[in-house]
């Protein structure tokens, strides 16, 4: 098997694992252009998947992605399903549409997300927006799609869930005693982002524990830093300068900027594609990947007790239990 590093590109990963794409069904959230999800979708199209389904909030941003896929290979089935991950009614409706269009899902890539929302904001259910968009909506959607994942899990290669997290999870553990920030009194935008990204890792471990025996494995991936996706367009250099102080306050650790400080648009999808395609990953799951390799995450993001506490809290927030 090839060995990739921080310089890996989407094209290199797709070439290496083309056999893991052909004829399979991929569901990707948040793949409007420009985004990591859109780069993943277009990259996959180069190796003849059977079906690429994009679940995203804004159809106009997805249209150019679907057009590009058609240019690459018009035989690929494509589907767009509108979903607002911060609205649980929307998630439930979308899940039904996705299951109808894709009764078997080989790979689910949860790439939608928001970052460092400056003002304390609640979703329709009263949940802080970053936790809602990055974790709770994906928790609900993934569990509702479990029948299609399990259906594919019994086939060769199994099924996978890839949750895009961030090295931002080093910003903060999950705040179980005050996850909604005392109505905004204890909120700051970087801690909010850190908690949500920690939730992505904890969820990956919890999902793998529950569905691994059914052939469905789960990983969390840090894509790297990139400005093309516009995710942090609302932030300034002064905002980023606050990070070391926030990390020290929340974790007692020093913040270290990883290398490289910026990846190209094609490099930014590579690690998640490896998690989705590398045949060796399922046996090593659950796992946290960055720069194309499995790395050790912060202990609070993988602690079994925290994994279970988050699963139970998430069930309470979506008002539904999921037993496997």
Binned at pLDDT 50, 70 and 90, residue 230 comes out as low
The tens digit of pLDDT for each residue in 161-178 reads: 999 999 999 999 999 999
Q: How many domains does the chain have?
A: 1
Return the higher-pLDDT residue of 193 and 258.
193
Residue-level pLDDT at 262 = 83
**Does residue 3 lie within any of the structural domains?**
no
**Does residue 277 lie within any of the structural domains?**
yes
How far is the C-alpha of 299 from the C-alpha of 12, rounded, in Å?
32
The tens digit of pLDDT for each residue in 283-296 reads: 999 999 999 999 99
* Ordered DSSP codes for 63-118: HHHHHHHHHH-TTSEEEEEE--TT-HHHHHHHHHHHHHH-SS-SEEEE-------S
| Percent of the chain scoring above 90 in pLDDT | 89
Measured CA distances, 216 to 169, 188, 321 (Å): 24, 35, 19
Residue-level pLDDT at 112 = 95
**Does residue 323 lie within any of the structural domains?**
no
The tens digit of pLDDT for each residue in 36-93 reads: 999 999 999 999 999 999 999 999 999 999 999 999 999 999 999 999 999 999 999 9
Residue-level pLDDT at 299 = 96
Residue-level pLDDT at 232 = 63
C-alpha 22, offset from chain centre: 22
Identify the H or E element spanning 27: strand 25-29
Residue-level pLDDT at 2 = 78
pTM for the model stands at: 0.97
Residue-level pLDDT at 184 = 96
**Does residue 4 lie within any of the structural domains?**
no
Residue 285, phi-psi category: left (phi > 0), alpha (psi -120 to 50), beta (remainder): beta
How many beta carbons lie within 10 A of that of residue 74, not counting itself?
8
* CATH number of 38's domain: 3.40.50.720
**Does residue 250 lie within any of the structural domains?**
yes
Average pLDDT, the chain: 95
Is 256's pLDDT higher than 70?
yes
How far is the C-alpha of 188 from the C-alpha of 200, rounded, in Å?
19
The tens digit of pLDDT for each residue in 7-30 reads: 999 999 999 999 999 999 999 999
**Does residue 2 lie within any of the structural domains?**
no
Between 110-119, 159-168, 173-182, 254-263, the lowest mean confidence (pLDDT) is in 254-263
Residue-level pLDDT at 87 = 98
Residue-level pLDDT at 113 = 93
Helices (H), the chain: 10-16, 36-44, 59-72, 88-101, 129-131, 137-144, 146-153, 181-184, 189-211, 237-241, 243-251, 270-277, 304-318
**Does residue 236 lie within any of the structural domains?**
yes
Boundaries of domain holding 186: 10-318
Is 235's pLDDT higher than 80?
no
**Does residue 310 lie within any of the structural domains?**
yes
As a whole number of angstroms, the longest Cα–Cα distance in the chain is 53
């Amino acid at each position: 098997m090839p060995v990739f590093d921080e310089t890996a590109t989407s094209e290199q990963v797709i070439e290496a694992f083309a056999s893991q794409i052909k004829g399979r069904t991929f569901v990707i959230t948040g793949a409007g252009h420009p985004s990591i999800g859109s780069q993943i979708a277009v990259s996959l199209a180069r190796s003849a998947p059977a079906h690429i389904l994009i679940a995203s909030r804004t159809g106009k941003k997805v249209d150019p992605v679907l057009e590009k896929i058609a240019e690459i290979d018009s035989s690929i089935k494509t589907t767009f399903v509108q979903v607002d991950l911060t609205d649980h009614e929307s998630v439930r409706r979308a899940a039904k549409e996705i299951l109808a269009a894709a009764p078997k899902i080989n790979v689910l890539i949860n790439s939608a997300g928001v970052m460092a929302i400056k003002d304390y904001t609640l979703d329709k259910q009263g949940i802080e927006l970053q936790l809602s968009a990055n974790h709770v909506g994906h928790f609900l959607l993934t569990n509702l799609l479990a029948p299609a994942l399990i259906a594919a899990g019994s086939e060769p290669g199994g099924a996978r869930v890839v949750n895009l997290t961030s090295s931002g999870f080093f910003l903060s553990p999950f705040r179980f005693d005050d996850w909604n920030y005392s109505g905004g009194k204890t909120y700051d935008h970087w801690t909010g982002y850190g908690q949500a990204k920690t939730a992505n890792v904890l969820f990956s471990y919890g999902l793998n524990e529950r569905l691994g025996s059914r052939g469905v494995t789960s990983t969390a991936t840090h894509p790297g830093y990139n400005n093309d996706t516009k995710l942090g367009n609302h932030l300034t250099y002064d905002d980023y300068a606050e990070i070391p102080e926030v990390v020290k306050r929340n974790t007692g650790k020093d913040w270290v900027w990883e290398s490289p400080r910026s990846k190209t648009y094609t490099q930014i999808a590579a690690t998640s594609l490896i998690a989705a395609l590398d045949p060796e990953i399922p046996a090593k799951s659950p796992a946290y990947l960055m720069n194309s390799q499995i790395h050790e995450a912060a202990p609070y993001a993988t602690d079994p007790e925290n994994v279970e506490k988050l699963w139970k809290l998430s069930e309470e927030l979506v008002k539904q239990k999921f037993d496997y």
